[in-house]
Structure 1
């Protein structure tokens, strides 16, 4: 997703903030649905449904206006790599939700912005300040507190959201690079179509006939993911990314609320401390980036 905004569009910060907060609610709802459905159906099938609905909705919204032009990209290999990164994120995170509560998994996945900071040095040749490096290290300390030895989350399963965070970090770096060549609509549509085709090759080996009562949830799963991305794209037209970045951490709050309402889970004290540290380190990194900009 492009983080560039036109000067004429950056004039409604409250609208931008509202859209970002709504997007984080949709992302949390998507993750809660993924956790529920993956407890009933194979993860591959759940992820396949998510991308099929995403692609069909994108086609219905954008193809009547733009036709096949919406899929024209100047960097097809980079787009394919970006799509694979997001697919890896989906598979790792959804599988992790089978073993890890929603709030804790979401918090670990929010290492991605900190990983972007660290990886932007070797991959994008960007300058990272000492304060940003401290924020990265503090964020990893937050994860250690969440999965401390002897805790209920100290299992190999915690590597799944960590791998998801790494995939999402590469996805964000590629998104930043591709914003120089393609529109956000092209990138999002290409990703949805590519991953739909990729998962369609796998889903016959994992197919399970869905029950009718779960069909609305499956449709909502893809709709939440697709509309969340659209809301983020619109938000960046109204306010600068540096202003909006901190509000992305509302997703952890929504994940905690939905985890309690739907699954009855309350994070233990150490997890709450770790989540708070990850949020604060991410906010500090965003503040440092804003000062640099």
Structure 2
């Protein structure tokens, strides 16, 4: 069993969120200039190369990486995540990084709410209360029925739901498949589905933006490597709450790079959602240990 180092795990998770925030900023720029399908396809080409490289260096090689107890579910996971990334990147370009991420922060609450009916997990009254409070926060952000409500915000909510579905599927296959197997299927299946779609939307890209695309791919690989290392050295329950720092880093990028503004309702709603999400993650970990 690997030696646990919670402090190092937290530092790695903070670095992960910073790298992913930069990745989202670059995605927002490229999606504003080019088709989302093409951008995500090229990103997946590099991601697939990364997971195949990891698989060849792991014990058992590619044969071990592809051996899954749930091949159809793994295919579904890869497809759902690839399409979710397309929805998320589109939301970044249409809604802005700050607003999109504020709504997207609700995905742990969606996972907790759906884990009962989908996975048969027990969700107690404390977590249901936190889930309810979190969705109040989402309503504060969206302001349904208000004169300035932007229906494009529902795109970010769709992305959060898709990512929650991906999380539930990941938890399901994790009962028998290792994280390395799931990572391999995630990268390769996402690459397959995006390669079937992306070439139909190909656009010429200027040299400067090819540089941004290369940086986007590098941040994707670095972010996933840091996240894998974080979960290797520390328990998920200890480091997962720090994933919410991505909203903080993204907000800085949105405000100072893209001149976005943070509305009062978005700030307050995001605080409510993040607080409820952190409590839900903490409570889930405590229940799991007790069980």
Alignment of 1:1-293 (within 5 A): 6=1, 8-10=2-4, 12-65=5-58, 67-69=61-63, 70-148=65-143, 149-150=145-146, 152=148, 154-292=149-287, 293=289
Cα displacement string for residues 153-186 of structure 1 (whole angstroms, at most 9, x for unaligned residues): x222111111111111111111112222222222
Is contact 2:52-2:62 (8 Å) kept?
A: no
Give secondary structure in 2 for the equivalent of 1:155: coil
- Structure 1 unaligned spans of 5+: 1-5
CA deviation after TM superposition for structure 1 residue 130, in Å: 0.9
CA deviation after TM superposition for structure 1 residue 118, in Å: 0.6
Output the TM-score relative to the length of structure 2. Answer: 0.92
| CA-based RMSD | 1.6
Is contact 1:104-1:275 (8 Å) kept?
A: no
Output the TM-score relative to the length of structure 1. Answer: 0.92
Total equivalences in the alignment: 285
Aligned partners of 2:74, 2:167: CA distance in 1, in Å? 12
CA deviation after TM superposition for structure 1 residue 135, in Å: 1.1
Aligned partners of 1:151, 1:233: CA distance in 2, in Å? 44
Aligned partners of 1:289, 1:61: CA distance in 2, in Å? 31
Is contact 1:116-1:170 (8 Å) kept?
A: yes
Give secondary structure in 2 for the equivalent of 1:138: helix
Aligned partners of 2:13, 2:142: CA distance in 1, in Å? 29
Aligned partners of 1:291, 1:190: CA distance in 2, in Å? 30
Give secondary structure in 2 for the equivalent of 1:265: coil
Is contact 1:57-1:223 (8 Å) kept?
A: no
- Structure 2 unaligned spans of 5+: none
Cα displacement string for residues 16-72 of structure 1 (whole angstroms, at most 9, x for unaligned residues): 001111111121111111111000000101111111111122333442555422233
Runs of 4+ deviating beyond 4 Å: none
